[in-house]
Amino acid sequence: MARGEGRPEGTTALEALMGRRLGRECLYTPSCRLALYVALRHWCRPGGRVLMSPVNDDVIFFVVLAAGLRPVQAPLDPIDGSIDVAAVPEETWRGLSAVVTTNLYGNPDPVAALRERCDTAGIPLIEDAAHAIGSRLPDGRAVGTVGDAAAFSLSKHVGAKTGGFLAFAEPGLRAELTALRDALLKPAASASEALYAVRPYAEAGVRGLRLVRAAHLALRLLGAEERQEIRMPLRAGELRRAIAAAPGLDPFESWVRVDMHPYRIAPGGVRLRRTARLLGDLDRRLALHRAGTAALLRSRWGSGHGEPDAGDTGGTRAQPLFRVPLLVSDRDAAIAALARRRITVGYLYDPPLDVYAADGSTADDSAAFTDPSPLPRPAAWFARHALPVNPCRADEVLRVLDGLPITPVRPPAALARDGAAEGSGGGG
């Protein structure tokens, strides 16, 4: 994909396939994070304020900052981590330039209510649908079809380890959005294509031989695993200098590229052919995720999430979640036990972004990088107790959890919107 090419050869078919699924125009991008950046740069002027979830990947936090925007952390529902629309203060709504949803793990945010508030305020709604390529709203619409734009990932359900889409409502915007994307791309490199071609075999080989350290080393060489902890180091001093140079991706490159160095490298034939093959298999993959989600929600561990639905043969109203966030009393014990069975728990977002972003700030500068949530306790409780497990391994996960001296938990009643203390309930 060379700079300046309107519809590069090899991506047109992918865009058409995704467009048919959504009923919207779709623009291929090398990653979801680049798609989100393009959307923010197009729909938001630098200096604006963007409402987002504090329980989110820190990469997305840095994407918002790179676009020259100030993150504003939203209050959350502690059951599923979705934005609590009614708890957003009126004064916050009056100062926003946009809202970015998360659809955390595939659970849809209340997008209809968000759409109504955005329309009233005259601001765009941008859907981050990275985890939700197969999820649907209560009225049957697909996640990603309500906002002005939506960013999708092909690294999650599709499993391509590369690629994404920017879906948008107005077809007339294609030329402008394509030009913006192309201006951000870096040229394809033969070494990057070669690494991508061998990556699936390298990962499978070292893990199949249980060479765990070798696996981590291989992933780090591929730019696919860099974190030592759940959150990457904030580096507050460097971040202040990057913010002063925003908007632009280059000052934020060391943060935005984490776990995906080729996030804005134009794809070559190897990537596009593999992506097309995997995207064609999406419906089968979604069916596996939906079945596993239903099994987890039927269990005692999913008691806080599912709703009975006699019309669903699975017994619950289940989305094809990318990960199912089971709420448990001792997440560390669960992670350790699952690891002993070679079941990796990833996509943890703890602590919430407003706590994370305060790291390294002085007492007089604690809100240097973001507006904190007006009600931080529900997000903190969810971030601490959520155990996001792969629904495609539901049976194995349930066998492990059922053998542990831990329990499912529900948010304590003290997590009300009045900001009362959490209390001692819920396995706190």
Burial class (CB in 10 A: 0-12, 13-18, 19+), 43: buried
Q: What is the pTM of this model?
A: 0.88
* % the chain with pLDDT above 70: 80
> What are 317-363's pLDDT values in tens digits?
689 999 999 999 999 999 999 999 999 999 999 999 999 998 655 44
Decide: 422 and 381 in contact? Cβ < 8 Å.
yes
Q: What is the pLDDT along the chain (428 residues), one digit of tens a residue?
A: 433 344 445 799 999 999 999 999 999 999 999 999 999 999 999 999 999 999 999 999 999 999 999 999 999 999 999 999 999 999 999 999 999 999 999 999 999 999 999 999 999 999 999 999 999 999 999 999 999 999 999 999 999 999 999 999 999 999 999 999 999 999 876 555 445 544 554 444 444 444 445 555 555 555 555 777 899 999 999 999 999 999 999 999 999 999 999 999 998 888 899 999 999 999 999 999 999 999 999 999 996 554 434 334 333 468 999 999 999 999 999 999 999 999 999 999 999 999 999 865 544 454 689 999 999 999 999 999 999 999 999 999 999 999 999 999 999 887 754 443 333 334 44
CA atoms within 13 A on the CB side of 282: 21
Q: What is the pLDDT of residues 89-106, one digit of tens each?
A: 999 999 999 999 999 999
CA gap 314, 110 in Å, rounded: 24
Strand 164-168 to 149-153 pairing: antiparallel
How deeply is 322 buried, as exposed, middle or buried, from its count of CB atoms within 10 A (0-12, 13-18, 19+)?
A: buried
pLDDT tens-digit series, residues 198-229:
455 444 444 444 444 555 555 555 555 577 78
Separation of alpha carbons 89 and 70, rounded Å: 17
| Other Cβ atoms closer than 10 A to 141 | 15
What confidence score (pLDDT) does residue 358 get?
Answer: 87
pLDDT of residue 281: 96
Quick one: tokens of 288?
């596996």
Count CB-CB contacts under 10 A for residue 376: 18
